[in-house]
Chain A
């Protein structure tokens, strides 16, 4: 019953993932199951290896690390796939909009090649921009946008690539308090609307609380179930530190 639930469609599952740096255990072993629309938070101080965990999940881990464990997405083992075959989208704390492309081109960059024709692609991009409150920004230079606008454009770029899971590497930490809350809701709403299993790493407890999902603290190794929303399948403890 449990195994079935864990391999269910749209689920991201980490199985005993551990990272080793220079012969010393850095992180894990960690086993986490994230259901569609669920947001799980991994909390830890800087240097705790939480960004490296995300790099392992996207397949871009620096070879100085040794990693063990498996990653399943949609019931499929993606551990050994190259980054581009995984369908795992990532957002960093910097927006990383390509400075050589316009805002619209940045979004079109992520649009799958299946959307053909200049008009269709432009329409898809304009739709995404409108959804982010950036209608009419397609031809702008990303450098002329405000921090909040850039951050929203980066979210839309990540989502346009149609990922099947979303990783968030402290994407809120560079924004000021007022902007931060609204942007957080923006990201979470979009992730839930697409039923994406989402993994957030952060060192900010407020970020973790805002997810309404389970929180794994790398320091004490405890897992706290969701405290706010109860509707996101947290009645059962889905996340936990492995053996």
Chain B
């Protein structure tokens, strides 16, 4: 433990350490790593039959025997692996081909502008919107029927049996995941591209005769990929173990492994908890094996493509890549927008008979009736998100300020630690963490909920803030010190005001991450604390589309509002400071 801890605290301090700040990186690590570690152990023990509270006092392989004897396991495993790998691959290929084919164009600048709102929409809200679009009586079918009617075709009055949503092969789930993860990969890639001299690298390659796409793939991609490797792994791990999107868009017989495990955890038959713990541990093994496999595939691709890089092939003008990737990103954007719009429309619908393209009657009745019910989870969502994002921001500022004062930089190994909560499947440690909370009599309390969100909010806030923080010209701080300010005053009066924009963006990202949390809220909230996301996912199965639309819309509006504020506040405060504009 000492090794990695020293890695994030930095190895060789060159300047005098801030005497009291040294504990901040440790505290931060403690807060988000200890629950993961204890939670893993707390899941492994019951996986081998040990959980005194439920009468398991000795170790036995019985939970595993029951797990492997379960008839739905093989199907669930196959579904998990195919949807996980395919969606991660799809998201990576889409993100890279758009970056390669549309480098320096207006399309890419437009994509960049829409990334923040796309990321802000919670997974569950997007999945619900997509389900509205893809359902047999969904918007796509309605629009198709309306178009058919306009062309004078005889259109049936009943929904067709297409089964696009919740299809048994998980195609809808694969596309939904890819749709949500592509913006994340694009954002991380654009940030990483800022560290590479892309323009000149491309100028060298193209003046040597390389076509635009080939030049990008042969010179920029090999430099970019190592920098986005961790985000790619996080996407793969997430896709393999996602629960909320799989519940909404995935099939149910069998569902993916993570959903199956959650079902066992929630079963009234308490003895199933042991099997569920074994399943959760199996989920961890699958993710680790998948990461190892992906790493192996990377090595293989590098080995096979290495000769190709210098073999001299110049490639063509890349029009096909441009066309296909442009079309794909356009379609993806349209689907995303339509999904959000569908939720908004449903929430103000009174009557919308099939196959009308639009509601026949509109009304705010759903909002008026449901708002009092929705207010409580909305309030919980708000305070949990604000508390988690605020705490994460304070801890991150503490770590980064400590870096400045002690003159250290964390190593790449420390970056891996930051990604631990994003790589380890939530379901693999949340049960154990819940057991721990019960022991501490903390389950269902506000601190437990905030802590469970903080684990996932912290890495994102740190990732969002560390680059702009480290990029701030250190001479400003030195100038201020020479003018007689204490280090604390420099932080408050120079650094934080100058970094206001990235600080607020990081906080908005943290808030959005918190709003989107499903599993942590279920396990730490213990049914007593519930958020919009939990309610929305809970309603997904059946229920009134109008109410679902309202929950999903409200769930998206909160993080979107946070982003809007994060963009508006600095612009307003610094409207007379041209040097502070983005």
- Using a CB–CB distance below 8 Å, which chain A residues touch chain B? 55, 58-60, 62-63, 82-90, 92, 94, 96, 98-101, 104-106, 108-115, 118, 121, 157-158, 161, 163
Cα–Cα distance between A89 and B207 once the two chains are bound (Å): 5
Asked whether, in the complex, the Cβ of B200 is within 8 Å of the Cβ of A96, the reply is yes
* Secondary structure class of chain B's binding surface, majority of residues: helix
Cα–Cα distance between A101 and B212 once the two chains are bound (Å): 19
Asked whether any CB of chain A lies closer than 8 Å to the CB of B253, the reply is no
Asked whether any CB of chain A lies closer than 8 Å to the CB of B312, the reply is yes
Asked whether, in the complex, the Cβ of A89 is within 8 Å of the Cβ of B309, the reply is no
Checking A84, A121, A157 against B311 with a beta-carbon cut-off of 8 angstroms, the contacting residue is: A121
Q: Which 8 A-B pairs have the closest CB atoms?
A: A108-B310, A83-B206, A161-B208, A113-B312, A100-B222, A105-B310, A110-B208, A60-B203
Asked whether, in the complex, the Cβ of B209 is within 8 Å of the Cβ of A161, the reply is yes
Cα–Cα distance between A209 and B223 once the two chains are bound (Å): 38
A105 CB contacts on chain B under 8 angstroms: 306, 309-310
Cα–Cα distance between A160 and B5 once the two chains are bound (Å): 49
Checking A60, A86, A121, A158 against B202 with a beta-carbon cut-off of 8 angstroms, the contacting residue is: A60
Given the known interface contacts A92-B200, A96-B197, A98-B219, the answer about A84 and B312 at a Cβ–Cβ threshold of 8 Å is: no
Asked whether, in the complex, the Cβ of A84 is within 8 Å of the Cβ of B215, the reply is yes
Asked whether, in the complex, the Cβ of A90 is within 8 Å of the Cβ of B207, the reply is yes
A83 CB contacts on chain B under 8 angstroms: 203, 206-207
A63 CB contacts on chain B under 8 angstroms: 104
Checking A58, A62, A118 against B207 with a beta-carbon cut-off of 8 angstroms, the contacting residue is: A58
Interface size class of B (residues with CB under 8 A): 20 to 34
Asked whether, in the complex, the Cβ of B310 is within 8 Å of the Cβ of A113, the reply is no
Asked whether, in the complex, the Cβ of A115 is within 8 Å of the Cβ of B312, the reply is yes
Cα–Cα distance between A63 and B203 once the two chains are bound (Å): 14
Question: B182: shortest Cβ distance to chain A, in Å?
Answer: 24
Asked whether, in the complex, the Cβ of B312 is within 8 Å of the Cβ of A82, the reply is no
Asked whether any CB of chain A lies closer than 8 Å to the CB of B473, the reply is no
Asked whether any CB of chain A lies closer than 8 Å to the CB of B317, the reply is yes
Which chain B residues in 184-235 approach chain A with CB under 8 Å? 197, 199-212, 215, 218-219, 222-223
A100 CB contacts on chain B under 8 angstroms: 222-223, 309
B205 CB contacts on chain A under 8 angstroms: 109
Interface centre among B197, B204, B222, B306 (most CB of A within 10 A): B204
A157 CB contacts on chain B under 8 angstroms: 204, 208
A114 CB contacts on chain B under 8 angstroms: 312
Checking B204, B222, B317 against A96 with a beta-carbon cut-off of 8 angstroms, the contacting residue is: B204
Question: B157: shortest Cβ distance to chain A, in Å?
Answer: 52
B314 CB contacts on chain A under 8 angstroms: 84, 112-113
Checking B200, B210, B312 against A94 with a beta-carbon cut-off of 8 angstroms, the contacting residue is: B200
Residue of B nearest to A113 (CB): B312
Residue contacts A-B, CB under 8 angstroms, 29 given: A55-B203, A58-B207, A59-B206, A60-B206, A60-B207, A62-B199, A63-B104, A82-B206, A83-B203, A84-B215, A85-B209, A89-B207, A89-B208, A90-B203, A90-B207, A92-B203, A94-B197, A96-B200, A100-B309, A101-B309, A105-B310, A109-B208, A109-B218, A109-B310, A109-B312, A113-B314, A115-B312, A157-B204, A158-B207
Interface centre among B203, B210, B222 (most CB of A within 10 A): B203
Cα–Cα distance between A63 and B109 once the two chains are bound (Å): 12
Question: B305: shortest Cβ distance to chain A, in Å?
Answer: 11
Question: B392: shortest Cβ distance to chain A, in Å?
Answer: 34
Interface centre among A83, A85, A96, A101 (most CB of B within 10 A): A83
Cα–Cα distance between A101 and B218 once the two chains are bound (Å): 10
Asked whether any CB of chain A lies closer than 8 Å to the CB of B148, the reply is no
Cα–Cα distance between A96 and B223 once the two chains are bound (Å): 12
B538 CB contacts on chain A under 8 angstroms: none
New A-B pairs, 18, CB < 8 Å, besides A83-B206, A98-B201, A113-B311: A55-B203, A60-B202, A82-B206, A84-B210, A86-B207, A89-B208, A96-B197, A98-B219, A101-B222, A101-B309, A101-B310, A105-B310, A109-B310, A110-B208, A112-B312, A113-B312, A121-B312, A161-B207
Question: A67: shortest Cβ distance to chain B, in Å?
Answer: 15
Asked whether, in the complex, the Cβ of A88 is within 8 Å of the Cβ of B317, the reply is no
Question: B65: shortest Cβ distance to chain A, in Å?
Answer: 49
Which chain B residues in 310-345 approach chain A with CB under 8 Å? 310-314, 317
B223 CB contacts on chain A under 8 angstroms: 98-100
Asked whether, in the complex, the Cβ of A90 is within 8 Å of the Cβ of B204, the reply is yes
A109 CB contacts on chain B under 8 angstroms: 205, 208, 218-219, 309-310, 312
Asked whether, in the complex, the Cβ of A113 is within 8 Å of the Cβ of B313, the reply is yes
Residue of B nearest to A111 (CB): B312
Interface centre among A59, A62, A84, A157 (most CB of B within 10 A): A84
Interface centre among B200, B311, B312 (most CB of A within 10 A): B312
Q: Mark B111-137, 1 if CB is under 8 A from A, else 0.
A: 000000000000000000000000000
A113 CB contacts on chain B under 8 angstroms: 311-314
Cα–Cα distance between A111 and B311 once the two chains are bound (Å): 8
A118 CB contacts on chain B under 8 angstroms: 307
